[in-house]
Amino acid sequence: MARRDGRGGFTFELVPDDDADGPLDTSAPADTRTAGDGTLAGPATTAGVAGPRAGEPSAESDGHRDLIPPSLLTRAVRRAAVWLRGRPPVQLVAGVVVLVLVLAGGGVAAVLRDRAADARVRAAPGGVLDLSHPIREWWTISGGSSNSWDSGLWPIGALDGVIVLAQTVTEDPAEDPADDPAEDPAEDPADGQAGEPAGEPAGEPRAETSTVLRGVDVDTGDERWKVTLPGAAMCDTGSLALNRASGYMGQGSSLMCVQGAGSETTVTVIEAGGHVTTRTPAGLDDRTTILTGPAGMLLRVTRTADPPDGVALEEDRARGWRISQPVQPPEVKVSAEDAVTGEQVWEQTLHPGLVDDASSWWGCASWDEAGTPVFDADMVAVAASTDGVVLHLCGLEAVLSASGDVVRQNATGAGTDLPVVATGLVDGGLGIVDGGDSGGWGDGWTGPTVVVDTQGREVVRLTGGPLDPWATDGTGGLDLRGPEPDPEGVVVTHDGTHLAAVRADGTQRWQVDERPRSQGALVRGAGVIVLVASSPSGAEVRGVDLATGVTRWTAPIDEAVAYGGGPWAFARGAWTDGKVAVIVTPSDAGDGTLPVWTAYDLRTGAVVWHLDGAAAAKIVAPQSTCLAVAGRLLCVVEDKLVRVA
């Protein structure tokens, strides 16, 4: 029989059935598992009862799984024992050798499959290695500051199993020793004045602000490194989802931080191990803006000339605001350079259009402290990741691939005032609204959409909008990050009437009527995509078979409490390990509603475990933001970060 030893492996004894330790117990149901404390835990656990034992880790909690199911090994060994019984010594030895080789080969194959599946889930957006048991607190870290001026912790990127947390720390001038009479010198010999530091004007002390970056191991919660940058900094890994709110954080190769402006710009690059490189980019002037770009690169946006003087935004009773005179913004050069060395990778020249009352001038506006729009031809707004680059400039909106190819370019002007709306897709690449006024791109969008890969190449034109899931197990999709799309993968789309699965070559795998209309996709895995919708009977999630379009299961969820469409009107987060989908509902409308955590079997919709609001709040603060990072689930709120799965 097969017995599990203390190291997670199996010890085999070839014994006749009549010598086994007692009769085989077949009274327990097939789907019942023995818990670590000897109790029986069924397949569905509810109301905060955490798997084998509430709050205790299981044999699978750390991502390890049985190499081969014990029942399979037991049957194989028993059959082999029957054949070996009574055989001559030569056959007996040969049979044992063959049996050992077969079992060893099967074990190795299972190990390789298991490792490959784990690696795929770790890399997949929203993938968490094991969600078979309710969440629990593994470790917690705090910002450790009692200064109310300091910001909370905020995750800004992930590097090779390290999550990077940022915190803005402000030195409270009220606590400055220089302001404490007990510690002030009676007289400063430098200037003969008491109570004032030499060289500093009298008056209110200025608060000094710094940006503290901490690299925290996602497995242990240990701080691997800490870097403090003076002043404010804009930091990014260039690997986050482009223009897409999601419950995961992709891993980059380095963290890039930009400080200052114009010729005073400095760049700091931090690698996964904490190595820091700081430099001042060459050739900067007031016409150039440095921004973080796709992974490992910086973007340099340079106007080739100064904009004309005398242009302003004027209040207009009929229209609110109008531009005082037409303006033609100068050409703009956009280039990407290696963040560490400064070596140029690519460059493009873009041509803005005329900006006047007949076109949109919002890309040429900033706002003052009173909230009044001010004409600003230097305005640059960029969203960049490995999926691509989206630029919003005065007189121009453009989409570029991470390799520098211009995918879309829309110069503003009369009759061309249509926004370029591009969003990163869960399988890589971008979904771009194809003409017309989008009204905003999102999971509720049902208009025509063009899908491009990470090289900017057009893959497929959809007649509807993609239902892009928040989380996947790395299977079933087009996989647009590789050299070629997966020919067996699909993107699920809807046009307001039909739901369809479309391959990379544009052919449909299936098409079905969509009733009720889906508001978004939450999870894709195990051959199922989980959609969320609102029906006359209430909100629901449903598992749709990726191969056929047939709805395998439906489950009611709490009614949406947030305004607007899309999945955020129904849920706060969703993750998967490829077998289970964990969904947190309802949406957050700021009314104090406690989130509920429910785990569904992807194939059947059966509830695997459930935590009501009160039980979940003991583990995760209700207002937490939760992210999947390298196969782990981390939740952050204010100055606290906790790993829960």
Distances (CA, A) of 454 to 43, 441, 482, 586, 629: 41, 19, 8, 34, 22
b/e 473-502 (16+ beta carbons within 10 angstroms → b): bbbbbbbbbeeebbeebbbbbbbeebbbbb
Over the range 133-153, which residues count as b (16 or more CB within 10 Å of their CB) and which as e?
bbbbebbebebebeeeebbbb
> Coil, strand, or helix at residue 584?
strand
* pLDDT for 295: 87
pLDDT one-digit tens code per residue, 521-563: 999 999 999 999 887 778 899 999 999 999 999 999 987 666 6
The pLDDT value recorded for residue 34 is 34
Does this model's pTM top 0.85? My answer is: no
Cβ neighbourhood burial of 508 (10 Å; 0-12, 13-18, 19+): middle
Nearest to 589 by CA among 557, 621, 561, 615: 561
Query: Phi, psi (5° rounding) for residue 494?
Result: -145, 150
Q: How many residues does the chain have?
A: 645
CB 131 within 8 A of CB 610: no
Return the residue matching tokens 């003052």.
368
Q: Which residue has the tokens 């720390």?
A: 169
Three-class DSSP labels, 523-581: EEECCEEEEEEEECCEEEEEEEECCCCCEEEEEECCCCCCCCCCHHHCCCEEEECCCEE
> For 7, which DSSP code?
T
Query: What tokens does 484 get?
Result: 């070629």
Helix (H) or strand (E) holding 164: strand 162-171
DSSP assigned state of 327? B
- Residue 538 pLDDT: 81
| Residue 22 one-letter amino acid | G
CB half-sphere exposure, 42, CA atoms < 13 A: 8
Contacts 24+ apart (CB under 8 A), 516-520: 518/443, 518/467, 518/494, 519/443, 519/444, 519/565, 519/566, 519/567, 519/569, 519/570, 520/442, 520/443, 520/444, 520/467, 520/566, 520/567, 520/568, 520/570
Specify the pLDDT at position 99: 52
Query: Residue 495: helix, strand or coil by DSSP?
Result: coil
**Spatial CA neighbour of 558 closest among 593, 528, 604, 592:** 593
Mean pLDDT for each consecutive 10-residue tract of the chain (645 residues)?
40 39 38 35 40 37 38 48 56 56 56 76 93 96 62 86 89 54 42 41 66 94 94 88 74 92 94 94 92 93 88 82 88 96 96 84 85 87 88 90 90 62 88 60 71 92 92 94 92 93 97 90 97 85 97 88 74 95 86 90 98 95 92 91 94
pLDDT in tens, 338-384: 999 999 999 999 999 888 877 777 788 888 888 888 888 888 888 88
